[in-house]
Structure 1
């Protein structure tokens, strides 16, 4: 099918975790709320819009968030509740199309080119879905509507919260040209900085580069960026989207300074990851150790095997070796994480520009 004829919707719940907490506790409504980060060394998992006005963002250390917003209210996460609400939302999606690609509990792509209700426009479908979500859950959602996934994702951010935005085939190229590259989905801070050093600041700058130039500087991502600069994204909405990585991490109350202490703190993290592996009958080839120090410097160390890692003991042994390579250390460790990637069914999914990360811990 011609991409220009596709109808893709990206639905994104508004401050999902925090909004659920405000819905269920009237005392929190209208106040700056952060989910997670309850512990002194914690991290913000989600922030309400009232908190965002103060500069509080997800993944921000709790101490920083409280410094920015002294009135910030921290609440512990309730993932079982968030999953239940997410399932309600998925049921609403399923009434319109079977082509649903969840990205997380609070967002998903929908291909409504041919929809189950024979509705003529994706704009009307998005309006109906958002209205049903509000009526069913009491929560608001924003939506982006376009002819490919990249533009639908970009569009959903335009009228947040509780709004929607359409990017048509006629307006798509100009929209991308005016966009700062740091706003592109799939371009993180490091890549943005590299592009800036190369004189690439906007979509128009990116469009001016040749494919060989982008391949030379960005490797396998070069063709992806080349297409995005031209508002081209052929990726399909895949309802069987395969997870590309599994990860868990922990931030500690006190900094760790010894190898033995770090090893002991790694064991429960490895347990969480291995439980997921066993419950979902999957295996991996790559183990990555994440270390964040007391000054927030972060490093990762990885090892990829030629065969699938088939036991918890194998993961533990690799983590032990990777951790050994980190020591001796000159500063304390505040966070450790373990991620498994190159999963056994990973080769069948080339859809996402970056690995999907499952958060098993705050």
Structure 2
């Protein structure tokens, strides 16, 4: 999730090539320079000596140090320099980002599988919205998603800027000598990324004089990757609605209402009289809403949100308090209700996070109606799967 179009890169930008020896990987410098805006191009490391690697790393860049960290979860305070001798996966994420959420089962699985072989994962929580700066919110998300690896809060974007990052999620793999060897933007390429992890762990073992094989069989092209528990499959080519922001500062398109945005003001919105006037992929509102830079806040007791979207599932990032009655295509969402909608077709909004409203068996176009009860209900974005 990203105001700079990370969602458009959700399948990721990483070109991986297997080379001799332990199987080194590299990102295409051309793609890397165009898309990742990371700490530098990743180039072939050379060949490895079985006893000890002697890769030429003169054109690699050292991983930037963690900077401006305000809180540590699952660990005591540390520096990246303290992890020299380990293979480190630095993952930029934020807890309400659906693209980030869908990568977490893979990160959890890799941590469980490879931590004993020298892998450390550092989740760098860099907020998109102000509520994601709250340590209690981040702690609750870490517990909800079952994250065991260290998570650091980068509330002022010190580490984000040090890595010249622009995307959520964005993974950097750092070898045991502290060099950035690979990066990947967005979701996907899980098998490739795991192969890089295996390769760098194998290289580390050789540097330590160990004759170890790090799950080499699982990197075979004939091996079917095992999807971690809780992992979701997404066909991005069939999602025809982009992420949609409610805040006037973040929005990529105007509202469907003729009243439009009026920064800092409470606006009484009205819906079109004819449902046929509802245009796809455009947010429509009814009720009194305060126009915030990053959100819309309901100021009347009731309000309505209408969206015609094309996807398999739909989510909102919301906060405040209230009840959201969910219907689609003229009737209650029923059996297609999302994980956060109860059997009465209501989502109870009781915290600032992502809420899954509807999940269908396939990809199709639907008209979503959210009837909100509760002044103070705040909505930030629609995301899709």
Greater strand proportion: 2
Largest Rg, 1 or 2: 2
Greater helix proportion: 1
Same fold? TM cut 0.5: no
TM-score, structure 1 normalization: 0.30
